[in-house]
Structures are given as C-alpha cells and as structure tokens.
C-alpha cells in the first residue's frame, strides 16, 4: 500500500532531517516509529501525506501510495487522496480544530456522504453526543477531549491509511485503551494500515507488528515489535527502552521513615466551576468539588484522573488564575487571596506553575533568557548584574547550556523548552512547584532526564511538587503520594505504594487496570505467539 524508499529530507544549512529512510506498510499492518525528540518521526509521518514542512526539502527518495508518487501528484489529487483515503492525527490536536467552529461542524466537515453520522462518530471516541456538547468550541474542551474530536474527524471516512502522531500523549489510561481499541477495530474490519509515531512503548508493544527506531534521522534498528522491544540490539534502542517507566515494576520507597512531614500547602474544601455557552445555552461545569489535601516540604504529590476530571482547573486555582467558588488555599498556615492580583509578591512567588506546553511560559518574539530575567525581576526584585548572575545560576541548576538563553523558544527542542520553563518558574524561588502534564510531549529518555532534574532540585531545596499527570507509570517512579480525581472529586489519596498495591476506589482500580505496561504487554504478546490461552497466562 505505502512504500517509502531511501527518503532523504534536509533542513536549513543542509542539516539532515531524514537520511535514507525506507519502510513499507501493507493493508492491515501497523508499523511504529519510535525515537527521541528531533529523530525525524513527525517528518516521516508528514512525508506519507506528500508534505514537507517549510524550511525543509526532499533531496532524494520516494513515497508511493498504491504505486502513485506522492510528490508527483497535483494539489487537487493530494487533497482528494487525503480526504478519502488517508487520515493524519497530529500530536497537538488543537492544530486541526478551527477555533471558531463548533464540535459538530468540525466532525461534519470531514464526513463524506456515505460516512457514519456525527453523533455515532462522537460515541465511537467516547464523547457525549448531546446537543450541548456538540455546540461547544474547541477551547471549551480539555486537551484529551480535543484529541478525541480530532480522532473522530480522522476516522470519519474509514481511511485506508492512518498516521497517528503521539495519539496517547494527552489522554488518560482508560481513554488510551479505548482509542487504541478503536484503531484496532479499523484495522480488523477495514484493513487500515497504520503508522504509529509514539514514545509510549507500552502502546507500541500492544499495537505494532513492526518497529523502526529512528535516531538523528536514520533508522538504527528495525524488526518485529516483540523482538525489538524485548531484545533490542542497538545501544540507542536499549537506552530508549530502559528509560520507559513501567507501572508493573516495583519501585523503592522515596521517603525514609524518619522524615517528619512539614505542611507547606493546605487546600481546604476547594470548589471551582466554569461556564460554557451563552444565554439559554449557558451551562455551568463543576470542575472541582470540595477538594482538600496537604502538601509537605520535599514531597511530591501526583494528581491523576481522566481527561476533564478537574486536574488543570485545580492547578490554575492554586496559582490564582481561576478563582474558586468556595474553599481556601493556605501557605505555611496563612490563607492566600484567591486572585493572583490580590496576592503580595512573596505569595505570588511561593506557588509557581509549569504548564503543559512550555512555550506558553515565554514570549515567542523574545529570547528564553529575556523570559527568565523578567521572572527574576518581577518575583525577586533583582536587576542589572544581580539578575544576570541569578539567570546563570538557574541555567546551571536546570542543566541548560547558557548559549540557549539567547535563542527564541521555537529554536529549542522539547526537552530544552521544558528545562527553560522550569528555570523560569524556579526564578521565583517557590515553595511549591505545580507541574501540569509537563512530560507528555517528551520521549522516554528526555522524560527521565526532566524527572531526574526535578528530583535533584527537590533534594537540594526541599521544594514541594504537585505533579499533575495521566502517566501512572511515571507517577509510580516519581511521587510519594497520589490523589485520584473523578468528576472534580478527590476520591482517593494514599501513598503511592498503597495505591498500587490496594486501590480503594472504583476509579482508582479502573485507572490502574487500564494503565499500559511494557513488561506485561510483551509477556502477553509472547504468550499469544506461543498459543498460550490468556486465562492460562494470567
């Protein structure tokens, strides 16, 4: 169906983006492309659409779909092929959703006459199909819900080729499982071929027939998925797989019994809501309902839950960006004002947020160093040489090359952007750092580096971390305690070890049951290959 032969794509200054890459996709086959940030995975996916990003050029090789040269087709022929036969789901779902269009119109836009109704497509991706939801705009949805709307658009015409770029990076384990099952259904019922671009190796182990490992634009290893993921040969492949967090692997305790908890942040009865729509269609959503917890010095509390469960709303309320309807936030025993503008300088500095998209921390027209210096001046009152000296200290603390401070955000890799965003937050010398899904866009190696960095900073400064994530395996490695949110309610809070061993709430059990595990998936696939029944294997 799809044949990529010796593809060579170069960037500015003749930098190699892809070098001699070849891969074939047959009907009903899933090939996974894995590798670090900047390895060329997304460039490969876009090439299957006959597209090369601005600033890049194809200097060799070919991409053929059913024998047709994708780079030899006219614009009209490409548009027709992309509409009828190929679907692309990008890593950032919002980029495919026109912000001024309602959800129902966005899905309807992709449908052909023979396609399933919009309501049915929304049901397939486990979204509400009532009129109130269908008339929302993209910005009124969580990132996970945006991802599912983008998936509904992608599958509207039962494409023959699916290109999925990090499809599970923004969604919780239960939604991940449902989305992957939907892709499997398309493969089994309609013979869809799939290129799966992912750093989620557990999902790759479940879905892929073949794996190619990319590094610096070249394929360094390829083979059957089970073989590559279980017994990799290349050193880079080994490092990538070794860095993958796994919920099924026991972790050593992070705190000694002698540690005495010192409460830093107390949240009491926090309730927050937001409004959707206008006039008669106006609807109030309760995003947080009577949430209470304590965060101690030097502690990491993971806040987990499904998409739309209220995690990010709570984070915004804590930093004063979303005023709650009820409840209090106490810092060192003192209640802080709910609105950021009413907090004094020390209160604003004490609680800092690192957002999911690190570029949101910076002005795209200014350098990264300018952004960090601005935070230093605003939160610590430093200027001149004192501010410049503090900037150098922060860059060293987050292990970022000082030369990168002179670059703009888009000129940094994902991992570098995240380190810079952490440095900007640390400029305030906070007591509490809130990390909102900060590892979702990072490959396993860079993800591990960022987590190691946060742990080192915590050891050095006793900073408290509220780590918002849907990645239970990462939380298992990183957090001392875990809080589980469901429909805005905190349904369980426990030590991480107790949570994994004996979850108390139904929501916790469902999230844990759906959490992907590379080791468990590899064992299950090996048993299936050996003909061992699932019941006997378990």
Whether residue 85 lies inside any domain: the answer is no
Angstrom distance (rounded) from CA 110 to CA 253? 50
User: What pLDDT band is residue 115 in, cutting at 50, 70 and 90?
Assistant: low
Indicate if the pLDDT at residue 274 is higher than 90: no
Whether residue 142 lies inside any domain: the answer is no
| Residue 265 near residue 432 (C-beta atoms within 8 A) | yes
Measured in whole angstroms, how far is the alpha carbon of residue 412 from the centre of its chain? 18
Mean pLDDT of the chain: 90
Model pLDDT for residues 216-228, shown as the tens digit of each residue: 999 999 999 999 9
| Residue 428 near residue 421 (C-beta atoms within 8 A) | no
Indicate if the pLDDT at residue 15 is higher than 80: yes
Query: If phi over 0 gives left and psi between -120 and 50 gives alpha, with beta otherwise, what is residue 40?
Result: left
Whether residue 483 lies inside any domain: the answer is yes
User: What pLDDT band is residue 114 in, cutting at 50, 70 and 90?
Assistant: low
Angstrom distance (rounded) from CA 206 to CA 227? 13
Model pLDDT for residues 148-162, shown as the tens digit of each residue: 899 899 888 889 999
Residues 6+ apart with CB under 8 A from 294: 263, 265, 266, 267
> Which pair of tokens denotes residue 144?
């996970």
| Residue 141 near residue 172 (C-beta atoms within 8 A) | no
Range of 287's domain? Answer: 263-504
Express as a percent the part of the chain with pLDDT over 90: 61
pLDDT at 146: 87
Q: What is the mean pLDDT of residues 413-427?
A: 90
pLDDT at 258: 47
pTM for the complete prediction? 0.84
Give the CATH number for residue 392: 3.40.50.300
- CB-side neighbour CA atoms (13 Å) of 122: 19
Model pLDDT for residues 33-61, shown as the tens digit of each residue: 999 877 899 999 999 999 998 889 999 99
Whether residue 188 lies inside any domain: the answer is no
Angstrom distance (rounded) from CA 158 to CA 191? 10
CA proximity to 272, closest of 291, 285, 284, 288: 288
Indicate if the pLDDT at residue 26 is higher than 90: yes
Angstrom distance (rounded) from CA 295 to CA 427? 21
Whether residue 468 lies inside any domain: the answer is yes
Whether residue 204 lies inside any domain: the answer is no
CA proximity to 261, closest of 296, 292, 295: 296
Whether residue 349 lies inside any domain: the answer is yes
Whether residue 512 lies inside any domain: the answer is no
User: How would you class 367 by CB atoms within 10 Å of its CB: exposed for 0-12, middle for 13-18, buried for 19 or more?
Assistant: middle
Model pLDDT for residues 368-390, shown as the tens digit of each residue: 999 999 999 999 999 999 999 99
CA proximity to 515, closest of 302, 353, 357: 302
User: How many domains are there within the chain?
Assistant: 1
Angstrom distance (rounded) from CA 445 to CA 450? 9
């Amino acid at each position: 169906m799809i044949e990529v032969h010796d593809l060579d794509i170069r960037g500015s200054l003749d930098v190699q983006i892809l070098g001699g890459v070849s891969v074939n996709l047959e009907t009903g086959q899933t090939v996974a492309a894995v590798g670090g940030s900047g390895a060329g995975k997304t460039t490969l996916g876009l090439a299957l659409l006959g597209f090369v990003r601005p600033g890049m050029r194809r200097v060799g090789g070919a991409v053929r779909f059913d024998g047709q040269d994708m780079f030899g087709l006219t614009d009209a022929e490409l548009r027709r092929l992309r509409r009828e036969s190929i679907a692309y789901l990008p890593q950032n779902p919002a980029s495919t959703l026109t912000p001024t269009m309602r959800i129902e119109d966005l899905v309807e836009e992709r449908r052909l006459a023979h396609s399933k109704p919009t309501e049915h497509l929304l049901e397939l991706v486990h979204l509400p199909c009532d009129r109130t939801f269908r008339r929302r705009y993209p910005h009124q949805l969580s990132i996970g819900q945006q991802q599912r709307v983008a998936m509904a658009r992608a599958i509207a015409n039962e494409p023959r080729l699916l290109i999925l770029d990090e499809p599970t990076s923004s969604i919780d384990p239960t939604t991940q499982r449902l989305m992957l099952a939907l892709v499997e259904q398309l493969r089994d019922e309609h013979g869809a071929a799939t290129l799966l671009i992912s750093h989620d190796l557990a999902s790759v182990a479940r879905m892929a027939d073949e794996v190619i490992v990319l590094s610096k634009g070249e394929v360094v290893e390829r083979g059957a998925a089970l073989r590559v993921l279980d017994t990799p040969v290349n050193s880079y492949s080994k490092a990538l797989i070794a860095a993958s967090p796994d919920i099924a692997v026991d972790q050593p305790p992070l705190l000694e019994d002698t540690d005495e908890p010192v409460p830093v942040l107390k949240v009491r009865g926090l309730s927050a809501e937001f409004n959707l729509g206008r006039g008669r269609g106006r609807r109030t959503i309760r995003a947080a309902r009577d949430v209470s917890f304590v965060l101690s010095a030097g502690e990491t509390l993971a806040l987990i839950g499904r998409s739309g469960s209220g995690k990010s709303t709570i984070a915004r309320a804590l930093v004063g960006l979303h005023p709650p309807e009820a409840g209090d936030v106490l810092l060192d025993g003192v209640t802080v004002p709910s609105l950021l503008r009413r907090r004094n300088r020390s209160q604003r500095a004490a609680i800092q947020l690192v957002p999911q998209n690190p570029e949101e921390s910076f002005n795209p027209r200014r350098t990264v160093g300018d952004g960090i210096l601005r935070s230093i001046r605003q939160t610590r009152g430093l200027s001149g040489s004192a501010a410049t000296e503090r900037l150098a200290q922060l860059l060293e603390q987050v292990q970022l090359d000082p030369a990168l401070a002179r670059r703009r955000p888009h000129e940094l890799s994902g991992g570098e952007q995240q380190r810079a965003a952490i440095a900007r937050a640390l400029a305030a010398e906070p007591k509490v750092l809130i990390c909102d899904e900060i590892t979702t866009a990072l490959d396993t190696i860079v993800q591990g580096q960022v987590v190691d960095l946060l742990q080192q900073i915590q050891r050095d400064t006793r900073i408290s971390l509220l780590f918002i994530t849907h990645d239970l395996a990462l939380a298992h490695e990183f957090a001392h305690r875990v809080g589980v949110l469901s429909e805005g309610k905190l349904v369980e809070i426990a030590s991480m070890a107790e949570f994994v061993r004996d979850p108390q709430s139904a929501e916790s059990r469902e999230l844990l049951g759906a959490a992907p595990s590379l080791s468990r998936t590899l064992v299950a696939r090996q048993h299936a290959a050996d003909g061992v029944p699932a019941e006997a294997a378990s």
